[in-house]
Structure 1
Amino acid sequence: MPDPRSVPAPVIDDAFDWAATPFGAAAAWPSALRTAAGMVLHSRQPMCVMWGPELRLLFNDGYRTLLGARAHDGVMGQPFRAVWPELAGPVGPMLDDALRGHATGAVEDQPFVFHRNGYPEPVHVTFFTSPIHADEGRAAEIAGLLVTCLETTARVAARRERDDAMERLRLLDEIGEATRVASEPRAIMEEATRLLGEHLGVTRVAYADLEADNDRFTIRHDWRVPGAISTTGVYSLDLFGSQATSNLRIGRTLVISDVDRELAPGDGDGMFNSIGIKAIICCPLVKGGRLVAMMAVHQAHPRGWTAEELALVEAVVERCWAHIERVRSTEALREADRHKSEFLAVLAHELRNPLAPIRNGLELLRLGDGGREQVARVGGMMDRQLSHMTHLIDDLLDIARVSSGKIVLHRELADLKRIVSAAIEGAMPAIGAAGHDLAVDMPDAPLPVDADPVRISQVIGNLLTNAAKYTPRNGRIRVAARVEEGTAVVSVSDNGIGIPPESLDAVFDMFTQVARHTERSNGGLGIGLSLVRRLVALHGGTATAASAGPGHGSTFTIRLPLADALQPAADAAPAPPLPAPAAGRPLRILIADDNVDAARSLADLLALGGHDTRVAADGAGALELAAAFHPDVAFLDIGMPGMDGYETARCLRGLPGMQSVRLAALTGWGAAEDRERSRAAGFDHHLLKPAVPAEVSAVLAAA
C-alpha cells in the first residue's frame, strides 16, 4: 500500500485503498473528506483532519513535531482525546461545536504542557478550524474538520519578554520618580525596597552599606511582608559562607535558588535559615574596585530566579546608589557650608578674644603711672594673648599646607619619649593654669621613630592642650607611651566632658568641635584634631579617639611605626652664641610697611636701642630713602601695594653701595616655597609677622 503522504492530492483517491486502512471503509468517506486528507498529507504545514463524532486524527509530518514521542503510526485514526488528553478540556468543546457547525475560526495562543522529548514542556498553540462537508445533497452535514495547528511558544515568549521589559521599565521609572525628590537616604531605601519587593512578590528586600573595614556590612533598612522578621543590623560578610563572600567581594551577584540544596552544611546555610531565607538574590555594588553596598532579595521558600529578575535587581541597586550618592553629596555640601559659616563665626570670636585684653593693657599703660611692676604685669598679659593669636594663625597655615600637600617633614631617627617630654613641657602652662593633675607613664626603653620631632611634638602638644581645654578645672590628664606589635603608641586621656559615640570620628573633621561651650573662650577653631590626624598620617601612623560618652572623659591615641634602634648620640655641642652688634655702633635701619602703625612701632622699638631709623609706606618710598640714607639693615614688608617686597629688595640690591645691606622680609607667609622666594629676591632673613623681639635682635646681630 503506497504511503498517502507521498501521493499528490489530485490522484490520492485512485492510489489509496481506503478500505485497507484503519480510517474506515472508502465508501464511508465523502469525497470532500478524502480531498482534505490528501491536502493534509501533502502539505508541509502542521495540519490534520479530524473526522467523525470521535474526531479521529489523520496528520502529516509537520504535526508530528507537536505530538513528539506520541507521533507513531499506531496513533493514526485514534480519537483526538485519546492522543492529546491535555487538549481535551480547553480545545475539545470548541472542536465539538465546530463539528456540529456551531463555531469555526481560531483559538489563539492556548497554553499547554506537552510531554515531548521525554519531559514536560510548556508550549503555546493556535488552532485554525474549517468544516469539511459531506457529499452534495447532504450539504448541511459536516463529516469532519480541517485543522491547522501552529505552535506559537516563541511568539508568546517574545511578547511576554517585551511586556516584562516594559513592566521593568515602568518599575524603574516609578522608583526613579519616587526617589527623585527624596531628601535623605532612608526615604530612598524605603521606596525602592518596597516597590521591588511588591513587584517580585518576595518575602523581604534589604539594602546594606559596607563598613570601612570591607568585612562588616550594615543593613540600613528592609522591606518585608507581614510576619517576616527584620534583618536590620551589622553583620560580618563571612557569616554567610564562602560562596557569598567570594561572589560579593568581586562584584558578582549571588544567586541561590535553594539554600538547603546548594549550600554545604555549615557554609552559610545556618545564617540564611536563621533569618528565614531559602532563596536569595544578593546584588553587590563595586565602585573604584571596592565593595560599597548591596541589595538582597529574600524568599522564604525555594525559587528559581529568572535572568530578567536578576537584571532588574541589578538595575535597581545601581539606581538606588546613584540617588543615595546624590542625596549624600547634597548633604555633604550643606554640612560643609554650615561648617564654613560656623568656622568664620568662631574665627572672629577667637581672634577678638585676645584683642580685648591687649586693648585693655594698652589703656592701662596710657592711664597708669608707668611703674615697672604694672608694666611687667601688663606686658606679660599682652605677650600671652599675642602668643595665643599667633598659635591660632599658625594652626590655620599648617592645616592649609597639609591640605594642599605643601608641608615638608624634616624626618630623623628620634626617641619618641624625648618628643613627648618636649610636648609636655610646652603644654604645662595651659595644664597648670587649669589646675589639672598630670600623670606620665613612659617605658624605660627608648621608642625609636623615624619622624619630624617638631611636628610630632606639635601633635602631642595639641592633644594635651585639647585635654586641658575640655576638662573641668582640677581634672586629671594622663599621658602614656608603650609598644604594641612593632608600633609606638602614645595616648592622652582625661576625665573631661567626653564625646558622644556617633562623633568619635567626626572630631577629626575640619572645623569641628563636638561640644562648643560659650564659657570656653579658648575653645579654638576646631582644626587642631584635624591637624593631628593629618600630620600623623604623613608619618605613616594613625590617630583615633575613644570615649565612654558625654561626661566620661576621652582618650586620644596615636600610633607610629617603630624604627631601628637608636644609635648612642654624642653630647651635642652648644650652639654658638649670636654675635652681638659692635659696642657703641648704632645701625642705620630702614623699615618699609604699608601698615604705618606697625612700621612706626618697630622704628620706635629700635630707636630705644640707639639705632637710627627711617620709615617708608611703600616700595618706591623705601628706594628713595635708601639712596640717601644708605641703611645697614632694611626690614621690608612683602605685601606692599604697587611694588611688593620682592621687587623692592631686588631694586635695593641694585642701588650703588647697597650690595652689603642686610635685608629681612616681614610676611605672614612661612611655607618652604615662600622662604625660597625670599632668598631668590635677595633677602637674608625671613620673619613671620608678628616678629618676636629675639628674631629682630638676631637680624641686627648678623649685621
Structure 2
Amino acid sequence: MPTDSPKPGTVPETAFEPAAMFRAFFDQGTHSAAILAPDGTVLDANRRALEPWNAEASDVAGRKFWDCMWWEGEPAAAGAVRAGAGQAAAGEVFRCHLPYHRPGQGGRFADVVISPLRAADGSIAMLSAIGADATERRRAAERLRLLDAIGEATRIAADPKAILDGATRLLGEHLGATRVAYADLEPDNDRFTIRHDWTAPGEASTVGVYSLDLFGSRAASNMRAGRTLLIGDVDTEIAQDDGAAMFNAIGIKAIICCPLVKQGSLVAMMAVHQRDPRAWAPGDVALVDAVVERCWAHVERVRSTEALRAADRHKSEFLATLAHELRNPLAPIRNGLDLLRMSADKPAVMATVRQMMERQVGHMVHLVNDLLDVARVSTGKVVLRLERTDLQSVVGSAVETSLPLVEAAGHGLELRLPDAPVWLDVDLVRMSQVLSNLLSNAAKYTPGGGRITVEGALEGSEVVIRVRDTGIGIPQEAMGSIFDMFTQVSRSLDRSKGGLGIGLSLVRHLVGLHGGTVAAASAGPGQGSTFTIRLPAAAGARSAMEARAAGGGASVVTGALEILVADDNVDAADSLAALLRAGGHRVRTVYDGEQAVRAARACPPQLAFLDIGMPRMDGYATARAMRAEPGLAGLRLVALTGWGAQEDRARSREAGFDHHLLKPAAPEELAAILAAVQT
C-alpha cells in the first residue's frame, strides 16, 4: 500500500538526520553564531555571521575568536571577547554590549553572549558565541537621551539665542557634524534667514539671509514642498550649475535639511552640514526632524512670552501716557471755567480764555479721533473713499493742518514738489492725515528752530514722498519697533509733546490700506530722520480739477432753519442749540426720544439732531418713528454719537438718518449740513 503524504506543517522523516537538522538550524538562525573550542578557537560560524564580510567558514576556522574580522579596529572589544571566552571556558556565561566592525558601516554595536556547552560527563566540550546587532536600539536610546537633553536645555532658556545655542551644539556633537544651522523662512517663501549656527572648531559660520534658489532646483523644490533634503555627496548627486557650486562655496559635501511646515506654510528649517561625503542613517533624518520641531516650539514659546510682556509693558506705558495727555488739556479747561465765572465783565479776558479752551478741546478731540482710527484700522473697519487727486493737493492739505505746530516751534518748512501734477488714487482725507502725522511728528521731535523738508516725485510706477527733519533722530535699536503701537523714541519729561505713540502705527496701517509702504531711516541720535512713503501712481488720470468741477461747488447757507435738538445730555443739547441760535436759526430742545417725536409732530422741523444713546427711546427708534410720520416727509435727520465705526454708520442709515456726526461735531461739519438743507 502507498504511504500517506506528510501532513501540512510537518517535516519529512529524512530531514531528521541530526547533522542536516543542526546545519539548517545553525545557518538559518536570526542571530550571528559561532562554535568555539574551549580555548577560543573558531570551529564553525553560521551564514549570518559571515555574509556581511563576504567570508566563508574556512576563513575563520582555526583562528582565535577575538582575532577575527568582527573586531577589526576595535581592540577594546577584542580584549573583552577574549576575557569572555575564558569566562565561558570556566563554566560561566558571558554577556556584554560591544562595538564591532562591519565593512562600510562604522560605529555598530552588538549584544554578545558566550556560553559553555557541556559534554555528557559535565565537562566543557565547546563554547557557543551568539551575537545580535543592537545598533539601532542603541541609537534610538541615544536619540532619546539627546532629545531629553535638548528639552532640558531649552526648557530653562529665557531667549531664542540660548535655545538655539544648546540645541544646535548638542545635535552637532552627537552626529559628529561640521555645522548645524537653524533658519526662519521669510513670508515670501523664497528667502530664509539663518539665525544661528553651531560649527565644529575652525569652521565658518553661515549666519545670514539667502535665497532658496541659490542652492539649486532640487533644494528649492524640496524646501518649498516641505520635503527633507538628503544629500550624501554633493558632487555626484547635484549638477555643478544647479546648486553644487553654492554648497561647495560654503564647504558642504553632505547635508540633511529638514523643513518645518505649520498650517500649510514653511516656517523654519534645520540643516546639518558635513564637510566630507557621508552615508546618512535613517535615524539621523528622524533626529534632525524632531530637533527642528522642538526648537521651533520652544523659540515660539519664548517669543510669545516676550510679546505678552512687551504688550503688557506697552499697555501700562500707554495708559500712563494717555492719563498725562488728557490731563494736559483738562487742566487749562478747568482753569478756564473758573476764569469765565470770575471775568464776566472783562470781555478781553473771556475772549482769550475761550480761544485757549477751543485749542485744548481740539487737542482732546484729536487724541480721541486717533484712538478711534487705530481701533478701526486694527479691526479692518476703515473703508477708503478713493478719488483721483494730485500729489500737490495731498501735501497742501497736510501742511495746512500741521503748519501751526511747525510755526509754533520755530521750524523752517520747505516743499520740494514737481511743477507738473502727479496723480494718485487715494482717500484724500486719510492720506492727508498720514502726512500730517509725519509732519507733526517731525515738529515735536525736532529742537526749536529746526528744518523740515517735504519732497515728492514720481519714480517709475510709484509716487514717493519723503519727510525729512533735523530732529533728535532714531537710535538703531529702536528702528525695528518705530511703527509699533504705543512706541515712542523718547519718554523723558522734556519730550512731553510726544503724544500717545500711535501716530506712526496709524501711518503704517493707512499707507498699507492704499497698497503702499512706509519706511524710517536715521543716521542715529541727533542726526535727524527721514520717513519715506511709496504709493502706486495712478494711470490714465483725467484732471482732478475737472473731476472736482464735475461734482459741483459747495452750497451757501441762505436763511434761518427750524431745527430740533434731542439729547439726554442737557449740557450737550443746550450748548448745540445755543450755537445754532447764534447762527440765526430757530431751535427747540428736548431731552429724550419720546419728547422729540411729540415735538416734531406738533411743529415739524426742517432739521433734527438726535443723540443715539437716549433713554426710553433711543435715537434709532426715534428716527424710525419720525420717518413713519406722513407730516415729516421732508425732515433731514442727523445722528449725534460717539460711535463712528462703519457698522455704526450703516445702522444709522438703516434707521433713516441722512447724516452721521461724531461728538463733538466740528463747526465745518455743522455748516456743511446746514448748507445742504438750505439748497
Distance 1:269 1:8, change over 3 A: closer
Q: Which residue of the partner structure matches residue 682 of structure 1?
A: 656
What secondary structure, in the 3-state scheme, does the structure 2 residue paired with 1:45 have? helix
Give the Cα–Cα distance (whole angstroms) in 2 for the partners of residues 115 and 529 of structure 1: 66
- What are the superposed Cα offsets for residues 454-497 of structure 1, whole Å, 9 maximum, x if unpaired? 22222222222221121111111111112223211111111111
Tell me the distance in 2 between the aligned counterparts of 1:609 and 1:646.
27
Question: Are residues 78 and 550 of structure 1, via their aligned partners in 2, closer, same or farther at CA, if it must alter by over 3 Å?
Answer: closer
**Larger CA deviation: 548-557 vs 359-368:** 359-368
Which residue number corresponds to residue 164 of structure 1?
A: 139
| 1:665 and 2:643 correspond | no
Q: Give the number of equivalent residue pairs.
A: 649
Match of 2:666 among 670, 675, 692: 692
Per-residue CA deviations over 1:46-87 (Å, capped at 9, x if unaligned) read 28988999979689999997996536xxx59974669x9547
Distance 1:344 1:423, change over 3 A: same
Give the distance between the partners of 2:60 and 2:477, measured in 1 at CA.
Answer: 83
How far apart are 1:368 and its partner, in Å?
Answer: 3.0
Whether the aligned pair in 2 keeps the contact of 1:114 and 1:123 (CA below 8 Å) is: no
Name the amino acid aligned to 1:680. E
**CA separation of 1:437/1:677 partners in 2, compared to 1, >3 Å: closer, same or farther?**
same
**TM superposition score normalised by structure 1:** 0.78
**In structure 2, distance between residues paired with 1:474 and 1:76:** 98
Q: Match of 1:497, SS? A: coil
Q: Does 2:458 match 1:483?
A: yes
Root-mean-square deviation (Å): 4.5
3-state SS of the aligned residue for 2:467? strand
State the distance in 1 between where 2:486 and 2:87 align. Answer: 87
User: Quick check: 1:40–1:59 contact (8 Å CA) kept in 2?
Assistant: no
Name the SS for the 1:590 alignment partner.
strand
Distance 1:428 1:660, change over 3 A: same
Structure 1 counterpart of 2:623, from 639, 642, 649: 649
Contact 2:343-2:350 at 8 Å conserved across structures: no
Relative to structure 2, which stretch is displaced further, 613-622 or 521-530?
Answer: 613-622
Q: Which residue of 2 aligns with 1:566?
A: 541
Aligned equivalents of 2:318, 2:407: Cα separation in 1: 28
Aligned 8 A contact 2:624 2:655 in 1: yes
Would you say the 8 A contact 2:451–2:470 is kept in 1?
yes
Q: Deviation per CA, 1:392-416, whole angstroms, max 9, x where unpaired? A: 2222222222222222222233222
C-alpha deviation, 1:644, in angstroms: 1.3
Contact 1:285/1:292, CA 8 A, preserved across alignment: yes
SS at match of 2:482: helix
Give the aligned partner of residue 30 of structure 1.
none
User: Using a 3 Å threshold, how does the CA distance of structure 1 residues 64 and 474 change in structure 2: closer, same or farther?
Assistant: closer
Determine which of 283, 287, 297 is the counterpart of 2:258. 283
Structure 2 counterpart of 1:578: 556
Q: How does 1:303-314 map to 2 (within 5 A)?
A: 303-314=278-289
TM-score, normalised to structure 2, is 0.80
Given that residues 452 and 467 in structure 2 are in contact (C-alpha distance below 8 angstroms), is that contact kept between their aligned partners in structure 1? Answer: yes
Q: Given the alignment, which residue of 579, 595, 600 partners 1:605? A: 579
Is contact 2:52-2:103 (8 Å) kept? no
Deviations 1:211-233 (A, max 9, x none): 566565554444456x4457274
Question: Structure 1 residues 653-662 or 183-192, which shifts more?
Answer: 653-662
Find the residue that maps to 1:449 and give its secondary structure: strand
Give me the whole-angstrom Cα distance separating, in 2, the residues matched to 1:216 and 1:9: 68
Aligned to 1:16: none
Residues 323-352 of structure 1: CA deviation (Å, up to 9, x unaligned): 111121122122122222222222222233
**Matches for 1:60-79 after TM superposition, within 5 Å:** 70=56, 79=62
What is the letter of the counterpart of residue 676 of structure 1?
Answer: A
Aligned AA for 1:196?
Answer: L
| 1:354 alignment partner AA | P
- Give the 3-state SS of the residue equivalent to 1:492 in structure 2: strand
Alignment of 1:422-433 (within 5 A): 422-433=397-408
- Larger deviation: 480-489 or 625-634? 625-634
Task: Give the C-alpha shift of residue 173 in structure 1.
Answer: 2.8
Report the equivalent of 1:236. 210
Deviations 1:409-462 (A, max 9, x none): 222332223322332233222222222112222223332222222222222222
Identity %: 54
* Corresponding residue of 1:519: 494
Q: 2:612 aligns with which of 638, 646, 653?
A: 638
Tell me if structure 2 keeps the 8 A contact 1:351–1:389: yes
Query: Secondary structure at the residue paired with 1:572?
Result: helix
Query: Within 2, Cα distance between the matches of 1:358 and 1:528?
Result: 24
* Paired AA for residue 508 in structure 2: R
TM-fit CA distance, 1:535: 1.6
Report what 1:592 is aligned to: 566
Q: Which residue of 1 aligns with 2:360?
A: 385
Contact (CA 8 Å) 1:415, 1:566: kept in 2 or not?
no
Distance 1:696 1:273, change over 3 A: closer
2:161 is the counterpart of 1:186: yes
The answer to which of 668-677 and 42-51 deviates more is 42-51
Indicate whether 1:46 and 2:26 are aligned.
Answer: yes
CA 1:65–1:474 in 2, change beyond 3 Å: closer, same or farther? Answer: closer
SS at match of 1:463: helix
Which of these residues, 367, 385, 388, is aligned with residue 342 of structure 2? 367
Partner of 1:317: 292
Q: Does the Cα contact within 8 Å between 1:87 and 1:112 map onto a contact in 2?
A: yes
Name stretches of at least 5 consecutive residues in structure 1 with no aligned partner: 1-5, 13-37, 134-138
- 1:39–1:605: structure 2 CA closer, same or farther, 3 Å change rule? closer
Instruction: Say if 2:98 and 2:109, in contact at 8 Å, map to a contact too.
Output: no
| Aligned position for 1:329 | 304
Q: 1:460 to 1:129 in 2, by over 3 A?
A: same
Instruction: Tell me: CA distance 1:67–1:205, structure 2 relative to 1, closer, same or farther (3 Å).
Output: closer
Residue matched to 2:481: 506
Shift of 1:192: 2.2
Report if aligned partners of 1:111, 1:123 keep a CA contact under 8 Å in 2: yes
Question: Deviation string for 1:604-631 (max 9, x for gaps)?
Answer: 3344456554433322343455555655
How big is the shift at 1:271? 7.1
Worse overlay, 377-386 or 206-215:
206-215
Counterparts in 2 of 1:220 and 1:78: CA distance versus 1, 3 Å? closer
Deviations 1:199-256 (A, max 9, x none): 334455443434566565554444456x445727424356974365554444344445
With 490-499 and 502-511 compared, the bigger mean Cα shift is at: 502-511
Q: How far off its partner does 1:556 sit?
A: 0.9
Q: 2:431 aligns with which of 453, 456, 465?
A: 456
Distance in 1, matches of 2:584 and 2:95, equals: 119
1:686 partner SS:
strand
SS in 1 for 2:25: coil
Q: Tell me: CA distance 1:67–1:469, structure 2 relative to 1, closer, same or farther (3 Å).
A: closer
Q: Which moved more, 1:53-62 or 1:249-258?
A: 53-62
Distance in structure 1 (CA, Å) of the matches to 2:554 and 2:323? 42
| Native 8 Å contact 1:46 1:149 kept in 2 | no
Matched with 2:509 is 534
1: CA distance, partners of 2:430 / 2:571:
34
Contact 2:41–2:63 (Cα < 8 Å) also in 1: yes
- Cα distance in 1 between the residues matched to 2:627 and 2:38: 125
- Tell me whether 48-57 or 473-482 shows the greater mean CA deviation: 48-57
